[in-house]
Amino acid sequence: QVQLVESGGDLVQPGGSLRLSCAASGSIFRLATMGWYRQAPGKQRELVALIFSSGSTTYADSVKGRFTISRDNAKNTMYLQMNSLKPEDTAVYYCNSRRMGLEYWGQGTQVTVSS
């Protein structure tokens, strides 16, 4: 069983920055594909970014050049640095862990971009 706990969500003005964290339990963190997803009100959950065990990354087109996903395997923690935030980035952001057919989700953290 893997437990994921997100933190760092907040209210921020357009153009601002936030860093989200996802702390994971378990010793297999370094082997898992980790990801950030988000869900805005009335919309389906969508992929924001993935980081593989190799360290390679992939991003949704909507966040490329603005968001950076990273991981610290020594701390069992994943991060999402979000810059140049836009109102359309407003959503609940979820942490996801995936390995060998097993998938886990965090409880989510709210990010609101508004003036």
Please tell me the predicted confidence (pLDDT) of residue 99: 92
Joined tokens for residue 9: 């969500």
Provide the 10 A C-beta neighbour count for residue 12: 18
Q: How confident is the model at residue 12 (pLDDT cuts 50, 70, 90)?
A: very high
Distance CA 78, CA 64 (A): 18
Please tell me the predicted confidence (pLDDT) of residue 56: 97
Please tell me the predicted confidence (pLDDT) of residue 26: 75
CA angle 33, 97, 108 (to 5 degrees): 135
